[in-house]
Structure 1
Amino acid sequence: MGVLKLGDEIEVRPGIVTKDNEGKLHCRPIYSRIVSLNTEQNSLRFAVPGGLIGVGTLIDPTLCRADRLVGQVLGSVGRLPDIYTDLEINYFLLRRLLGVKTEDKKQAKVAKLTKNEVLMINIGSTSVGGRVMSVKHDMAKVLLTSPACTEINEKIALSRRIDKHWRLIGWARIVRGSTIAPDS
């Protein structure tokens, strides 16, 4: 947890994600400087964690439009968590689905995770798809559809597609994963 101050150099990760001709992912973080900090009607000189803070930067608006930066992580240069492409998780499934009733008026049970199943994984404000590569007891390996900036021991939410809707089926804790180095 850090403090943001006017004039600080910042980094946004994973930034711009691209694939090369061989299908290898590349993440190019976005670097900028803080030019303003605001809360509702107050202009700030510094900001601490907790609350809603508007951070004014010199980032090109085309990179920010259409919620493209939702789920990205902002912080001091070089002090952000790693960028993960797959995760090994320790998961816990709910006993019953929330908000879904079966014909006999009972809540449906949550089925176990299966190999090659596609889940939606929420890591903070990031929503990313994930394909289950392997499952063993309460551990699973999940390949992410796009890289995510997160930390080991972070808690994440797991959702499954049920009747054309994403339904919460459980939560997990990140144990380890494969990282990619950001491009300089």
Structure 2
Amino acid sequence: ELQPTTLSQQLTDVAELYESHPDVISRQATINIGTIGHVAHGKSSLTRALTQVDTVKFSNEKVNNITIKLGYANAKIFQCTNQQCSSNKETNYYTGKSDSKDDSPCPHCNQPGQLMRHISIIDCPGHDDYMTTMLSGVALMDATMLLVAADQSCPQPQTAEHLQAISIDGSQREIIVAQNKIDLVNHVNAKNNYNQIKKFLSETLYNRELPIVPISAVRNINIDCIINEIMKIPIPKRCLDKPPKFISIRSFDANKSGQGVDELVGGIIGGTLTEGILKIGDIIEIRPGIIETKDGKHKAFPLTTKIISLRAEDNFLRYALPGGLIAIGTLLDPALTKQDRMVGQMIGYPGTLPPIVTKITIKFHILFNKDTEFNRMLTQDLSKIMKTETEILITVSGCNNIAKILSDTNNIKGSGDLVEIEVSKPICIPEGASVAISSKNLSSQSSNWRLIGYGKVVQ
């Protein structure tokens, strides 16, 4: 049963639904906002301040106090309509948990508020070791919040690399810059750091004007200003009348050890819709599905199943629109979905999904930032880094895949060269899809994958 604290989601015609429909935002997020930036600059702390959810959940994350896997947290944004409210500023926005009532009271005057938005935060790891995890989250982001610590010089290595990463698919995402940890520096140092941020952004984003908000995430300073900037971000227009396309980014078995046979449930797949609408009862196809390998050759077997439940955090849904992390309950054998075995799958109506391939041709572009030693090395040694038979990592639709270069790249320039690559296992990918490319062959001091370029699938 759907919770009585939120609207009932009586299914209407697709033509009547839209991203900010009260029935929709009552239960699910309709915009994904990623947190990016260098390690320990406060991405998880800001997520916690906005959503009241701790995204650092795994034991190895807690031990090291860093984000390792992508974290997700939803929040509702309310506006106090009481003009006499003691805290009534320009907008008077505040947030609540995803399952809070749609008229949750203002924390200052205790009067009912008005639900304005439902957002989802994607908390990305900032450590260099987990750059590939961050790249897998880029495909899900509609907008970003760049965290820069005021007590360190700007830019730090992953500050620059993350800013490059969110541009690889050609999207000019809305960016909010949060100058965090202002409680740790004096006024002069905060101002100097602010000027460093301005200079870095002007050189990296070609003088694009971005809001820079000084905050302290752990002390809740100026979080209301961040909410105000979030409210200025336009909700993306989605293609709701198209067949649904769903990207799988996690999967699991929800059954407990010793559970009775009558209580068992099918496998759960988590991810995000990029277009269309999914409903309980829909028959869906999962591609590439099960992959069998024999004598070095792969064969893919797409799966077909039925949606028996939809959920956004603790909110049960009758239908799901693009935006936020959605959990799909299926009739699949849970053994197929446990331990993220369905990550990288594409889900939609049977007969509507892209082809399953092992070879693709991309139009390759090198990342370029003239001020870094990393890019100077790229420019000088690109033909060595991208040579035939070299192993690379491609990230597409939120999934990382090992691949090797097939084409002759002796004269590669990195400015639109056609490069043929073969992935290590079949993938479901359409023409025109954006691909991030990472390599290990850049430094003898590190075996981490480093983002070196991007491309568009042309064949």
TM-score, normalising length from structure 2? 0.35
How big is each residue's C-alpha offset from its partner over 1:77-120, in whole Å with a ceiling of 9 and x where there is no partner? 1211111111111010113599xx8xxxx445213221111100
Matches within 5 A, 1:123-134: 123-134=396-407
- Which moved further from structure 2: 46-55 or 88-97? 88-97
Q: Which moved more, 1:76-85 or 1:147-156?
A: 76-85
Per mean C-alpha deviation after superposition, the further-off stretch among 52-61 and 129-138 is 129-138
Q: Which residue is 2:438 aligned to? A: 159
Taking the aligned partners of 1:57 and 1:87, their CA distance within structure 2 comes to: 31
What secondary structure is seen at the aligned counterpart in 1 of 2:430? coil
Structure 2 matches for 1:79-158, cutoff 5 A?
Answer: 79-95=352-368, 106-107=373-374, 108-110=376-378, 111-112=381-382, 113-135=386-408, 137=412, 138-158=417-437
What is the Cα deviation at residue 17 of structure 1?
Answer: 0.6
Structure 2 runs not aligned, ≥5 long: 1-274
For 2:392 and 2:447, how far apart are their aligned partners in 1?
13
Correspondence list, 1:35-74, <5 A: 35-74=308-347
- Among the aligned pairs, what percent are the same residue? 35
Matched, 1:31 2:304: yes
CA 1:59–1:97 in structure 2 vs 1: closer, same or farther (change >3 Å)? farther
Which blocks of at least 5 consecutive residues in structure 1 are unaligned?
Answer: 177-184
For residues 42 and 19 of structure 1, the distance between their equivalents in structure 2, rounded to whole angstroms, comes to 39
Residue 291 of structure 2 corresponds to residue 12 of structure 1: no
Kept in 2: contact 1:3–1:49 (CA 8 A): yes
- Is the helix fraction higher in 1 or 2? 2
Q: Distance in 2 between the 1:150 and 1:139 partners?
A: 17
Q: Distance in 1 between matches of 2:319 and 2:339?
A: 27
Equivalent position to 2:451, from 157, 168, 179: 168
- Number of matched pairs: 169
Q: Is contact 1:81–1:150 with CA below 8 Å preserved after alignment?
A: yes
1 CA distance for matches of 2:390 and 2:430? 24
The one of the two structures with greater contact order (alpha-carbon pairs below 8 A, sep at least 6) is 1
* Deviation >4 Å, runs of 4+: none
Task: Compare the two structures and name the one with the higher strand fraction.
Answer: 1
> Is 1:97–1:167's contact at 8 Å kept on the other side of the alignment?
no
For residues 156 and 97 of structure 1, do their structure 2 counterparts lie closer, same or farther at Cα, with a shift above 3 Å needed?
A: farther
* Cα RMSD after superposing both structures: 1.9
- Partner Cα distance (2:453, 2:421) in 1: 14
The answer to whether the Cα contact below 8 Å between 1:134 and 1:141 also exists between their aligned partners in 2 is yes
Residues 95 and 109, structure 1, Cα contact 8 Å, conserved in 2: no
